[in-house]
Amino acid sequence: MQVVVADTFEEWRRAARQLLRSDTEPAEVLFRDSAGQRGLFDDGAQLEKTAQRSRRQEPRPAYRVPKEFLDLARKVSCHRDSDRWERLYRTLWRLTHGERRLLEVTTDDDVHRLLTMEKSVRRDAHKMKAFVRFRRVLAEGEEHFIAWHRPDHRIVRLTAPFFSRRFPDMFWSILTPGESVSWDKKALCYGPGVPASASPETDELEDLWRTYYGNIFNPARVNLATMTREMPVRHWATLPETDIIDDLLADAPRRVDEMVARQEGFATSAADFLPMELELRVLRAAARTCEGCHLHRAATQTVFGEGPPDAKIVLVGEQPGDQEDLAGRPFVGPAGDVLNDALSAVGIDREQVYLTNAVKHFKYEPRGKRRLHKRPDAREMSACKPWVEAELTLLQPNVLVCLGATAAQQLIGRDFRLTQQRGRAIVTQWCDNTIPTYHPSAVLRNPDPIRRERLMATLVADLRAAKTHLC
């Protein structure tokens, strides 16, 4: 039995590679977190020896690990449960030993558990991004911003890059019980955790904190009722900015202009524009000023999702079209007409559905007076993903329909192939019944009337299948 000590994804990945190379079966390995006891287990040396031995014996096949798995593993590795490393290694072993498409089998015990863990980590990361509050302290004449936070999982390394993008020009530290991170305007540096008793929550800092909060104030964040409801007490025991909110609101328009100017040229993702509160109304308002990619420049406006906040079913399209761009609402053009027909054919009331898109700005190529639809590329899809992620985190639908390959690839995985995998309910981190189907535009665009009819029939059948999961 080998014992491997890993605390981070990189450590696990290195160990897993060597274990695979030396053909070590999952049942022969015990994974541990160091829990501050590094050095007790002679993992590295032992592993290297085994790997060398096996390299001498015979060349091992190079394993191709799907990127989707690595993305999943990176998130799962932040989960607090100690069985995560074993599950990850077992899944990796199975993927590389004849079960190449294992991740599609979302009913599989390992896959299901990994997806659940990933979901929980994502939620926690979202909360951390939303609830971290910095306080300004002066240390040796330098201004430093410090925040204390208690996440559920080990997400400091996962979320730190977000904070460095958001606050690139400040010295800051985020302290958590498990790990701390600091930014010196150039690089992130990780250190040991800090107990709550050592957090910088003292009264003298309150005024400085208020000043700081005033400096970074984002009007889209102001909704005190939601702030207090959404915020577990341990995230934010007091709200010292409440008494300066009125002043801040009066100054809001100038601050918005300033914020936009500051962010110009920096943002590469909608993540930088996400508001603090998790509420649809607030998200929609914040998305109006999103400049997470270049698409906002040529488009008329952001087309955010719409529908009841308690919708049981969410439909995600690709991106707004010409008419949606002008109207500012999703699915109001020709593709929307097809969708309406399909919905009424199966008896789903459009008013009960939350409709949104993978990408929130219209991408097109001007042709004379017309604007020809262009598919969003991988960068734009990934830049815009935080919006749909935030929408789904809030909505938690019973059924999630991905209309077309763009939405399916964004929410299910890059390798997703619509023609082969549509129509079946898949468990994803967003929803246990995620159903990919054709996009209504595929029906519209097909020149052959018989094919068109068939595509429409399939779209209707898939929506009917979606409806069966609604109750």
Q: Tokens 């939303």 belong to which residue?
A: 130
What helix, strand, coil percent values describe the chain, rounded to 5?
Answer: 50, 15, 35
Of 118, 158, 72, 162, nearest in space to 430 by CA: 118
Residues 423, 435: contact at Cβ < 8 Å?
Answer: yes
Compare residues 125 and 359 and give the one whose CB is closer to ligand URA.
359
DSSP state, residue 272: G
Q: Determine if 269 is a binding residue for ligand URA (CB under 6 A).
A: no
Residue 317 interacting entry, from ligand SF4, ligand URA, none, C-beta within 5 to 8 Å by type = ligand URA
Residue 302: name its binding partner from ligand SF4, ligand URA, none (Cβ under 5 to 8 Å by kind). ligand SF4
- Cβ within 8 Å of residue 412, ≥6 positions away: 402, 426, 428, 434, 436
Size of site (CB under 6 A) for ligand URA: 13
Taking the complex as a whole, the smallest distance from the CB of residue 75 to ligand SF4 amounts, in Å, to: 21
Asked if 361 touches ligand SF4 (CB under 6 A), the answer is yes
Q: Does 360 bind ligand SF4 (CB under 6 A)?
A: yes
By beta-carbon proximity to ligand SF4, the closer residue of 282 and 435 is 282
Of 15-23, 77-85, 320-328, 448-456, the segment contacting ligand URA by CB under 6 A is 320-328
Judged by CB under 6 A, the chain residues 342 through 361 that form the site for ligand URA are 357
Q: Does position 305 bind ligand URA by CB under 6 A?
A: no
Nearest approach in angstroms of CB 329 to ligand URA is 8
Interaction of residue 335 with ligand URA, rule CB under 6 A: yes
Least separation in angstroms between residue 393's CB and ligand SF4 is 17
- Other C-beta atoms within 10 Å of 160: how many? 20
Q: Residues of 368-390 as b/e, b for ≥16 C-beta within 10 angstroms?
A: eeebebeebeeebbbbbbbbbbb
Interaction between residue 321 and ligand URA (CB under 6 A): yes
User: Which one of residues 43, 318, 432, 462 is an interface residue with ligand URA (CB under 6 A)?
Assistant: 318
Q: Within 10 A of 324 (CB to CB), how many other CB atoms are there?
A: 23
Q: If phi over 0 gives left and psi between -120 and 50 gives alpha, with beta otherwise, what is residue 244?
A: alpha
Only segment of 9-17, 32-40, 329-337, 388-396 that touches ligand URA (CB under 6 A): 329-337
> CA-to-CA distance for 84 and 191, rounded, in angstroms?
23
Comparing every residue's Cβ against ligand URA, the nearest one is 317
Q: At a CB cut-off of 8 Å and minimum separation 6, what does 144 contact?
A: 136, 137, 138, 171, 172, 173
Beta bridge partners of 146: 135, 173
Q: How far is the CB of 178 from ligand SF4 (least distance, A)?
A: 32
Decide: 20 and 9 in contact? Cβ < 8 Å: no
The CB-of-362 to ligand URA minimum distance in angstroms stands at: 9
Q: What is the C-alpha end-to-end distance of the chain, expressed in Å?
A: 48
Cβ proximity to ligand SF4: between 314 and 383 the closer is: 383
Any contact of residue 301 with ligand URA (CB under 6 A)?
A: no
Query: 151, 320, 397, 436: which one contacts ligand URA (CB under 6 A)?
Result: 320
Within 373-402, the residues that bind ligand SF4 by CB under 6 A are 380, 383-384, 387
What backbone torsions phi and psi does residue 128 show, to the nearest 5 degrees? -60, -45
Q: Which stretch binds ligand URA (CB under 6 A): 13-21, 116-124, 168-176, 323-331?
A: 323-331
287 binds ligand URA (CB under 6 A): no
Residues within window 67-126 making contact with ligand URA, judged by CB under 6 A: none
The pattern of x and - marking residues 255 through 284 that bind ligand SF4 according to CB under 6 A reads ---------------x--------------
**Residue 264 CB neighbour total at 10 angstroms:** 9
* x-marked contacts with ligand SF4 along 285-304 as a string, rule CB under 6 A: --x--xxxx-xx-----x--
The answer to whether 406 contacts ligand SF4 (rule: CB under 6 A) is: no
Phi, psi of 239 (to 5 degrees): -125, 75
Query: What DSSP string describes 313-369?
Result: EEEEES---HHHHHHTSTT-SHHHHHHHHHHHHHT--GGGEEEEESSSS--EEEETT
Size of the site for ligand SF4 (CB under 6 A): 16
Q: Are 434 and 395 contacting, i.e. CB atoms less than 8 angstroms apart?
A: no
Backbone angles phi, psi at 257, to 5 degrees: -60, -45
Does 371 participate in binding ligand SF4 (rule CB under 6 A)?
Answer: no
Rule CB under 6 A: which residues touch ligand SF4?
Answer: 270, 287, 290-293, 295-296, 302, 359-361, 380, 383-384, 387
